[in-house]
Amino acid sequence: MDIKSLDLFSQEFHQNPYDYYSKIRPHQPFAKVKMFNEGEQHSWMAFTYEAAVAVLKDQRFIKDMRSVFPDVTDENLPPISQSMLFVDPPDHRRLRSLVQSGFTPKRIARLRGRIEEIAREQAWLMRNKGTVDFIEEYAFPIPIRVICELLGIPSEDRLDFQRWSNVMVEMSDNSIYDEAMIEFMAYLEKVIEKKRVSPKEDLLSDLIQAEEGGDRLTVSELYGVVMLLIVAGHETTVNLIANGLLALLTHPAQLALLKEDHTLVALAIEELLRFNGPVEFSTDRWAKESFTFMGQKVEKGDHVIVSLASADHDPSAFTDPSILDITREKSPHLAFGKGIHYCLGAPLARLEGEIALRVLLEEYPCLSLAVELNELEWRQSLIIRGLKQLPIKLY
Ligand code: HEM
């Protein structure tokens, strides 16, 4: 396949990107692709597992634009760019360490009971409805309610979070983006000020305390980390649950296996992350200097991203990658990334995914797709792989 004809924004591509990747990967492990529909911006993309891991671990591909583009300053970057995901060491280490202790597998395991309650409640709320948009009614509310409770902010405002996050991960006009950021910031300002006056036992109160301490977190970094946790905390897991269900509904033998034996759910989640994971592409990286990488001449300032989805379907890393096998053991998938920016929320996402899927199958063992597969529409995003809606019949 001629890589020049790859249109990352077409519905054809989104319907089955894995087909496109399998044609590109053997000839172009690391290659330049056209990024946007308009303009001529080309970026490097890693397609093979080997190239993906190499990019994610190579410290010459940096995250902070300010280090390569002197005209980019704090003022013209959104606050989320001051969060751990968009900076390099030593700031990265400092920012990550402030929240890391709240996301260890041990701390997250304590949330099991509460996540189960939330999933059960959301499942019951669908009870009298025959057909639902699974994303709106189940996949979306669970992770957003959990992250709001962890942070200690009201989850009633979740539709606003959804709107702001959508703008951040989808391709939006600059004016729409700017407007959403102003609203998001104004909202956070109110919530943070309230919390300063009456702190509670939650993550936001801890972060405010770190900021007030003065030397560990600046005000804009505080906004950045809260934004990152809200966006990363739900855009991703929503689509793990929804893409995961779609993969199972389209592979009835695998679904039957899981229904028969719910103890397979943890393994199933790993396979669903690999097979149709929610984060299709890594976030942006930039070449800090000019150098030769995988036989290609990369110039200082070049934009680089990794197709995690392509890497996770690379036959050199996975046997029969196009087969969904929920009993696949020891999957070294890259759905949570690799290297220093490896997903902080992975233990939480795994637990939410497991519980959401198990509770769903317990409450609704007969569910099915309510539309034809080719009627499903995928969102236009250069990060997330997710559906606009997933209509399902519950009974
Ligand atoms: C299935 C769900 C999720 C997936 C597939 C996922 C995937 C990822 C990936 C691929 C990265 C690295 C991006 C890169 O290197 O460019 C990342 C980073 C991150 N994720 Fe997740 N994520 C998920 C859920 C979550 C949740 C629930 C949270 C938090 C509550 C979270 C918080 C973060 C944070 C803070 C980072 C930045 C880490 C750093 O820069 O050190 N994620 N995630």
In angstroms, what is the span from residue 13 Cα to ligand 1's centroid?
Answer: 24
Lateral strand order in the sheet of 391-393: 131-133, 391-393, 368-369
- Identify whether the C-beta of residue 318 lies closer than 8 Å to the C-beta of residue 287: no
Give the tokens for residue 255: 């679904």
Residue with tokens 């936001």: 204
Quick one: which atom of ligand 1 is closest to the CA of 95? 41
Give the tokens for residue 344: 């902080």
Name the packing angle between helices 141-151 and 219-249 (round to 10°). 150
Q: How far is CA 302 from CA 33, 140, 180, 341, in A?
A: 12, 35, 28, 19
* Ligand 1: residue whose CA is nearest its atom 6: 336
pLDDT, tens digit only, all 395 positions of the chain: 677 778 887 888 888 999 999 999 999 999 999 876 566 778 999 999 999 999 999 999 999 999 999 888 887 788 888 899 999 999 999 999 999 888 999 889 999 999 999 999 999 999 999 999 999 999 999 999 999 999 999 888 888 888 888 888 776 677 888 888 889 999 999 999 999 999 999 999 999 988 887 767 888 889 999 999 988 877 899 999 999 999 999 999 999 999 999 999 999 999 999 999 999 999 999 999 999 999 999 999 999 999 999 999 999 999 999 999 999 988 999 999 999 999 999 999 999 999 999 999 999 999 999 999 999 999 988 899 999 999 999 99
Whether 62 is in the pocket of ligand 1, judged by its Cβ within 6 Å, is no
Quick one: which atom of ligand 1 is closest to the CA of 239? 1
In angstroms, what is the span from residue 336 Cα to ligand 1's centroid?
Answer: 6
Give the tokens for residue 371: 């539309």
Whether 217 is in the pocket of ligand 1, judged by its Cβ within 6 Å, is no
* Ligand 1: residue whose CA is nearest its atom 28: 345
Identify the CA nearest to 357 among candidates 155, 16, 180, 115: 115
C-alpha span between 271 and 276 (Å, rounded): 8
Amino acid present at 21:
Y
SS3 category, 284: coil
C-alpha span between 121 and 241 (Å, rounded): 16
Residues 6+ apart with CB under 8 A from 15: 374, 378
Secondary element (H or E) of residue 391? strand 391-393
Quick one: which atom of ligand 1 is closest to the CA of 337? 10
Whether 224 is in the pocket of ligand 1, judged by its Cβ within 6 Å, is no
In angstroms, what is the span from residue 345 Cα to ligand 1's centroid?
Answer: 6
Residue with tokens 């003065």: 214
C-alpha span between 266 and 327 (Å, rounded): 10
Whether 335 is in the pocket of ligand 1, judged by its Cβ within 6 Å, is yes
Residues 6+ apart with CB under 8 A from 263: none
C-alpha span between 246 and 232 (Å, rounded): 21
Whether 337 is in the pocket of ligand 1, judged by its Cβ within 6 Å, is yes
Secondary element (H or E) of residue 271? helix 265-276
Residues 6+ apart with CB under 8 A from 320: none
Best of 236, 271, 342 to mutate for ligand 1, by most ligand atoms within 8 A of CB?
A: 236
Whether 240 is in the pocket of ligand 1, judged by its Cβ within 6 Å, is yes
Whether 102 is in the pocket of ligand 1, judged by its Cβ within 6 Å, is no
pLDDT at 38: 60
Q: What is the dihedral of CA 52, 58, 59, 60, to 10 degrees?
A: -90
Name the packing angle between helices 346-363 and 252-260 (round to 10°). 90
Whether 99 is in the pocket of ligand 1, judged by its Cβ within 6 Å, is no
pTM: predicted TM-score of the whole model, two decimal places: 0.95
> Rounded to 5 degrees, what angle do the CA atoms 92, 93, 97 make?
115
Best of 343, 348, 350 to mutate for ligand 1, by most ligand atoms within 8 A of CB?
A: 343
